[in-house]
Amino acid sequence: MTSLPILAAGAGGDTIAHVVLALAVILAAAKLGGDIAVRLKQPAVLGELVAGVVLANLDLVGVTWFRALTGDATIGILAQLGVLILLFQVGLESTVRDMLKVGVAATVVAVLGVVTPFALGWGVGALLLPGHSAYAHAFLGATLTATSVGITARVLKDLGKAQQAEGRVILGAAVIDDVLGLVILAVVAGVIAAAETGAALSAGQTGIVVAKAALFLFGALAIGVVASPRLFAVAARLRGRGVLLATALVACFVLAALASAIGLAAIVGAYAAGLILEDVHWREFTQRGEQRLEHLVEPIAEFLVPVFFVLMGMRVELRAFAHPEVLGLALLLTVAAIAGKQACALGALGRGLDGLSIGLGMIPRGEVGLIFASIGMTLTLHGERIVDAGIYSAVVIMVIVTTLVTPPALAWSLARGERRAAARGRGAGGPPAGGR
């Protein structure tokens, strides 16, 4: 039973002792931060983010242990497992049929939410970075396109509104704009590479990216809807404990791995798995007295989801705010990021949806902007880096601000929509006409 210190620093560099200590600190910080946020009538996730920001930025006063966690591979994977489980859980609350009902709205929202920030970001670049090439400006636009849906999903969940029409539109649109963002990045990076080498961009390559993504989304959903009842019927015949949860997790993980394999985010697959699985598929399990799947997934989420949000907070470097030359670009970029996604509200027009909440829910850029920016740092054109350290810092600040403003803004907007619906209900003497 002994694990000796001599072997403790094993192959991976990470020891179990270090990992559990980090998890203990993260869970404690999450619950304390969440408590304060809830007392301030904010979603708990805001408290988790801020707890992470506070801990990691203790490096400004010389305490670097927490900052070091942001580079820890195992904690990073546990955080990603957490956001997978969160999206799976959110997906479980809706069905594929629910999603098809909001499909048109979600597509309109996604397209508007990609095109507008892309154009605005390009404009900000052209305005503030006249010395850089148009390619750099376009790249800046691309960093603003894809929504990081983890924050919004969590806020909707904290407020019990993930299964509302607005929630489904936002989540569906985020899946679609993930695909669109991928295409834009492929095109912009392709154009830059072509300009650098003098070769032409292959339209075929772009087409393949789009086709694979579309095939996955429609293929997984179509096959999944047919296969899922059969999978659970087979699983129900297995003896032993924990079969229902294990089967559901296997479905979630396989689709996540598939999504990742074709270049989409793993969480897109986890969300698709959640959409596909329906209560009726595991009726046999519940009929023999087992807990419902939602109840089984909940404790795993309670364990792992805060790891993701505290870690996201920890990735914030308050130091970045100290450079005045960066702040101007950061400010305009953030405005472009927020304003650009408000175009999404147009997608709600005439559908009885709360457009403001949809626009606000699409704001967070989370890790995606950072990933795009870090790809930009690896691209060069005639010896000039497409994204230099200053632009990268500005993107980091944009990510921080969009991440932190969304929880309170969305909570406020959803409450406002509810009050309006209630008022309309009282005024008309009947149920509200809108989708709320």
Q: Restricting to residues 326-365, name those near a second copy by CB under 8 A.
A: none
What separation in angstroms does the CA of 429 have from each of 224, 422, 423?
43, 10, 10
Please report the sign of the dihedral spanned by the C-alpha atoms of residue 215, residue 230, residue 90, residue 433: positive
Closer residue to a second copy, CB minimum distance, 262 or 381: 262
Which of 29, 84, 82, 79 lies closest to 302 in space, CA to CA? Answer: 82
Shortest spacing between CB 255 and a second copy, in angstroms: 9
Q: How far apart are CA 370 and CA 351, in angstroms?
A: 34
Of 9, 208, 254, 280, the one binding a second copy (CB under 8 A) is: 254
Shortest spacing between CB 254 and a second copy, in angstroms: 5
Q: Does 290 bind a second copy (CB under 8 A)?
A: no
> Within positions 150 to 179, which residues make up the interface with a second copy, using CB under 8 A?
174-175, 177-178
Closer residue to a second copy, CB minimum distance, 158 or 354: 158
Q: Does 141 bind a second copy (CB under 8 A)?
A: no
Which of 436, 410, 411 lies closest to 423 in space, CA to CA? Answer: 436
Pattern of binders to a second copy over 9-48, x per CB under 8 A?
Answer: -xxxxxxxxxxxx-xx--xx-xxx-xx-xxx----x--x-
Containing 339, the helix (H) or strand (E) segment is helix 324-342
Of 6, 61, 200, 226, the one binding a second copy (CB under 8 A) is: 6
Residue with structure tokens 């603003």? 144
412 φ, ψ to 5°?
A: -65, -45
Give the pair of three-digit tokens for residue 366.
Answer: 């989370």
Given phi > 0 = left and psi -120 to 50 = alpha, else beta, which region is 242?
left
Of 60, 104, 223, 261, the one binding a second copy (CB under 8 A) is: 261
298 φ, ψ to 5°?
A: -55, -50
Shortest spacing between CB 188 and a second copy, in angstroms: 13
Q: How far apart are CA 342 and CA 363, in angstroms?
A: 8
Number of residues counted as binding a second copy (CB under 8 A): 96
Of 46, 144, 169, 249, the one binding a second copy (CB under 8 A) is: 249
Closer residue to a second copy, CB minimum distance, 60 or 238: 238
Closer residue to a second copy, CB minimum distance, 312 or 326: 312
CA 331, 334, 338, 339: dihedral to nearest 10 degrees? 50
Closer residue to a second copy, CB minimum distance, 178 or 332: 178
Of 240, 289, 350, 430, the one binding a second copy (CB under 8 A) is: 240
Shortest spacing between CB 252 and a second copy, in angstroms: 8
381 φ, ψ to 5°?
A: -130, 115
Q: How far apart are CA 50 and CA 36, in angstroms?
A: 10
Which of 399, 322, 396, 392 lies closest to 136 in space, CA to CA? Answer: 392
Of 59, 298, 388, 418, the one binding a second copy (CB under 8 A) is: 298
> Within positions 68 to 107, which residues make up the interface with a second copy, using CB under 8 A?
71, 73-74, 76-77, 80-81, 84
> Within positions 106 to 135, which residues make up the interface with a second copy, using CB under 8 A?
none
Q: How far apart are CA 41 and CA 61, in angstroms?
A: 30
Give the pair of three-digit tokens for residue 398.
Answer: 């944009």
Closer residue to a second copy, CB minimum distance, 5 or 204: 5
Closer residue to a second copy, CB minimum distance, 120 or 373: 373
Q: Does 5 bind a second copy (CB under 8 A)?
A: yes
Shortest spacing between CB 425 and a second copy, in angstroms: 29
